[in-house]
Copies of this chain bind each other. A is one copy, B any other.
Amino acid sequence: MKMDQKPALLIIDMINDFNFTHGEILSQKTSTIMYSILNLKDYFYKKNWPVIYINDHYKLWKADLESLIQHCSNERSKHIIDKIAPRAEDYFLIKPKHSAFYGTALDTLLQELKVDVLVLTGIAGNICVLFTANDAYMREYSLYVPKDCTASNHDEDNIYALTMMKEVLKANIEPSKIIYDL
């Protein structure tokens, strides 16, 4: 990252009900990556950089964090949500589709915050994270997608998505410890 750049941490779809095929497996993988994401959050707080949650709205069509958490909480998700739910000072947006940019105020928020570097984390790596990365690249954001902060139903799909983001989108996909030198 260059001296005059400003990053934001994006946390994608971590308020999740895991209510889909392979949901249980993804929930387990998410339990693992969660700690790397939480460490990144702490680092972003320390640096006074923005932390932005952007999350599926589960057909509630409701900009209402409370209803969303209630809807998503279950056996597969509760231990994750308890740890990762946004704090009062975090930004929190809902998205209607896969990309965090489609039908959301994300780009407006990032411009207001003068952010030009995105650190993408969350699930699933080969769907919502990848769609978001593509859209970020078209909008000229520099990208970090730390490989220990994203997971997909199948590991090979996660690896392939990471490889695509590296090669097509020039994303840095090194593990999150690289962020601590930014």
Contacts and interface: CB of A to CB of B under 8 A. Distances in A.
A126 B164 contact: yes
Interface stretch (A22-30, A40-48, A72-80, A94-102): A94-102
B98 A134 contact: yes
A94 B131 CA distance: 22
Give the secondary structure class of A's interface.
mixed
How many copies of this chain does the complex contain?
4
Given A111-B140, A168-B127, A91 B65 contact: no
B99 A105 contact: no
A64 B63 contact: yes
A92 B109 contact: no
A120 to B, nearest CB: 15
Interface of A: 57, 61-66, 91-99, 102-109, 111, 126-127, 131, 134-135, 137-138, 140, 157, 160, 164, 168
